[in-house]
Amino acid sequence: MNGWLALGISIVAEVVGTSALKASEGFTRLWPSVLVVAGYAVAFYCLSLVLRTIPVGVAYAIWSGLGIVLITVVAFVLYGQKIDLAGLIGMGLIVAGVLVLNLFSRATPH
């Protein structure tokens, strides 16, 4: 599997798992709890595949950075959680960091 595709799947699976974590209500609801475990299992499996071709520091920076942004969007849509201007600026900086890492770093395979 292509490393970048595996990274994308890993990020989406982690966001699904984290979103379901809130819905599991402390693992007291069965199906959201199953989704948490499945989401994290897929996320970490795919992340392990990513590390075959993408350096761990680069992969983790992208995985965690985009995961933060996506889970914030999901929390806004599904749970009505709000984000203030400082949060938006911070997430913009995270996205900018991921872009700089991908576009300009020699550590990132292109």
Q: Quick check: is 110 in a domain?
A: no
Q: What is the distance between the alpha carbons of residues 71 and 64, in angstroms, rounded to a whole number? A: 10
Q: Quick check: is 12 in a domain?
A: yes
The predicted pLDDT at position 57 comes to: 85
What does the pLDDT profile of the chain (110 residues) look like in tens digits? 899 999 999 999 999 999 999 999 999 999 999 999 999 999 999 999 999 999 898 898 899 999 999 999 999 999 999 999 999 999 999 889 888 887 887 766 65
Domain around 80? 3-104
Check if the beta carbon of residue 8 is closer than 8 Å to that of residue 54: no
Tokens of 80: 């009505």
Q: Quick check: is 109 in a domain?
A: no
The predicted pLDDT at position 108 comes to: 65
Q: Quick check: is 21 in a domain?
A: yes
Predicted model pTM: 0.86
CA 44, chain centre distance (Å): 11
The predicted pLDDT at position 109 comes to: 65
